[in-house]
Amino acid sequence: MKVLVANRGEIACRILRTLKEMAVPSVAVFTEPDENAPHVHLADEALALGKPDRYLSAEALVDAARKSGATAVHPGYGFLSQCAAFVRACEAAGLTFIGPGAESMEMLGDKRASRAAATRLGIPLVPGAQEADNPAVAKESAEKLGYPVLLKAAGGGGGRGMRLVRSRDELAEAHEAAKREAKASFADDRLILEKYISPARHVEVQILGNGRDVVALGERECSLQRRYQKVIEEAPASRIGAETRRAMFDAAARLGRDAKYRSAGTVEFLVSADGSFYFLEVNTRLQVEHPVTELITGIDIVKAQVEVAQGGSLPEAVAPRGHAIEARLNAEDPYHDFLPQAGPILMLQWPNRPGVRIDSGIREGQEISTNYDSLLAKIIAWGADRESARRRLVETLREITLLGIMTNQSFLLQLLESDAFRKGDTFTTTLEEREWPEPPLPEEILSAARRWIASRPAPQNGSAALPTPWDSLGGFRVGS
Amino acid sequence: MSWIEVVVGGVKSRVAVVRARDGVWISWRGTTRYVGPERRSAAAQAEADRDVRAPMTGRVTKVAAAPGTKVRRGEVLVVLEAMKMEYRLVSPRDGSVESLGCKEGDRVDLGKVLVTLAP
């Protein structure tokens, strides 16, 4: 087997590392802005795709596989990872797709189809309407369910095309925006609508199948979300009972078996305060937060995917050991509506600690652009118990030095140090319930920085001397 | 790039610093900030406040304002999409729209003036 990794950033790096460990030859692909990105140098060979959007071109990827002599494709997450047409294009070209088959992807990846399957199997669902494309129909369903309701893209995930509607007045605009965002993200503007359950925890089950049997490897809790995108994830879930956990594992595995699921997938649930759970959706791919499961089970999920794709057996489910927490380091301004940030990484230093894993896709000197997702790296800490993992993650985040663009580093620290997180009182609304003001820097440090800069002449040439739009933006706050 | 030593509350601490443009990026115990040069004059600031600029590179998916219309503080002027997410740019104050610097479907760069309010 020779594997082409049809992705970029931290996930391409993470997959390539496992391939190297398995002595499986690997091929990376890259677009123009990624010519010098870290994933390019981790593969045995690398092929250029061209324009920035070419990670989304099935044709270009299959062509690159053919040229390089790859026999299999790993899609990572995002891009074409949940696109059944891409699976078929790979198979038509004689390539093994390291993921589910096109049919199980269609059956579980589409929200309407997976809900129909869950209903058939007697798995509880959030009450809602499976068709809400038409604003009038959406309104009728919303009135019947009672506000607040959630509008969601039928064909996608990751929080894109999702809108909370608190009252009748908000429906028309939210419907329009959700449709637009769904269309832009998934080329599919079908919407569904469901009752908004709150407070609730977001708990998901990692499954792994071989087309016949499916095992549940463990659950993850990802309640802390901003704009419906996960920020901090942990395993095991902090406060769910053994019975709820068992019942969710069983439901997830049954759903997978019913779809003859192959490879890694995630079945997402909402768990309400009384411990009852509701099926939400299936992510038919490797997920961003898969490392927390890896750290408490010792199973390399990418390796298991590759083995299953080669006809190997499934790993056995193991009893979890300890606790793992992941924080997503994003190029965004958490204090100004999480606006994505672009710019050069001028200085980058990762700390080194026992029990800490850093899955990063960046290097010093790299230019971060808004062409792609804002995820820069995932910091994952393991501990014998939840509090040890939390403290380890906090100290690691304090030691990371990343200069040149604004990131959510200090925001992650605020979350991890908050009373709610310490106590495990984490719900999908926790993050939005209160303000998270930008933490001040001590005046001693600000004045030392100003003295430092005054003592050095301005650079005479190079990019640092060129005026950038930031100069004209004005109003930069001087650490007030 | 380098490290400077600063005494904070009696304790010696190491702070990472990198020069960028005419300011400096600093990082201390997980908190990072760009410290720019001193603020500009109040008059220059007021002039700059008339412009609503693109806070990132992206695509204009909706223009909700038209020249001459009255707008209220917080009212959506332009919807911008980047990384498949929508961002609503709102009016910084009550006033009226003087001119538009973009139209729907435009790709705009960071810092581009999208809407100018009347003084």
Domain A3-98: top CATH class: alpha beta
Q: Cα-atom radius of gyration of chain A, to the nearest Å?
A: 23
Q: What angle do CA A244, A246, A247 make, to 5 degrees?
A: 65
Q: What distance in Å separates the CA atoms of residue A116 and residue A271, rounded to the nearest whole number?
A: 20
Of the candidates B48, B81, B84, the beta carbon closest to that of A474 is on: B48
Of the candidates A180, A337, A442, the beta carbon closest to that of B8 is on: A442
Query: Which of A54, A261, A345, A158 shows the shortest CA–CA distance to B27?
Result: A345
pTM value?
Answer: 0.85
Tens-digit pLDDT string for chain A (480 aa): 999 999 999 999 999 999 999 999 999 999 999 999 999 999 999 999 999 999 999 999 999 999 999 999 999 999 999 999 999 999 999 999 999 999 999 999 988 899 999 999 999 999 998 899 999 999 999 999 999 999 999 887 767 889 999 999 999 999 999 999 888 888 889 999 999 998 999 999 999 999 999 999 999 999 999 888 899 999 999 889 999 999 999 999 999 999 999 999 999 999 998 889 999 999 999 999 999 999 999 999 999 999 999 999 999 989 999 999 999 999 999 998 898 898 999 999 999 999 999 999 999 999 998 889 999 999 999 999 999 999 999 999 999 999 999 999 999 999 999 999 999 999 999 998 889 999 999 999 999 998 888 887 665 544 443 444 444 444 444 433
* Topology (CATH level 3) of domain A205-433: D-amino Acid Aminotransferase; Chain A, domain 1 (3.30.470)
Residue at token pair 């309010």: B117
Chain A CB contacts of B62 below 8 Å? 180
Rounded to a whole number of angstroms, the distance from the CA of A254 to the nearest CA of chain B is 33
Q: What angle do CA A53, A374, A88 make, to 5 degrees?
A: 40
CATH architecture of B42-117: Beta Barrel (2.40)
Complex ipTM > 0.95: no
Yes or no, beta carbons of A449 and B111 under 8 Å apart: no
Query: Is A285 annotated in the active site?
Result: yes
Chain B CB contacts of A407 below 8 Å? 32
Ranges of each domain in chain B: 2-35, 42-117
> Would you say A409 and A328 are in contact if contact means Cβ atoms under 8 Å apart?
no
* Topology (CATH level 3) of domain A127-195: Dna Ligase; domain 1 (3.30.1490)
Q: What distance in Å separates the CA atoms of residue A359 and residue A429, rounded to the nearest whole number?
A: 27
Ranges of each domain in chain A: 3-98, 127-195, 205-433
CA nearest to B16 within chain A: A401
- List the structure tokens of A193: 């609508």
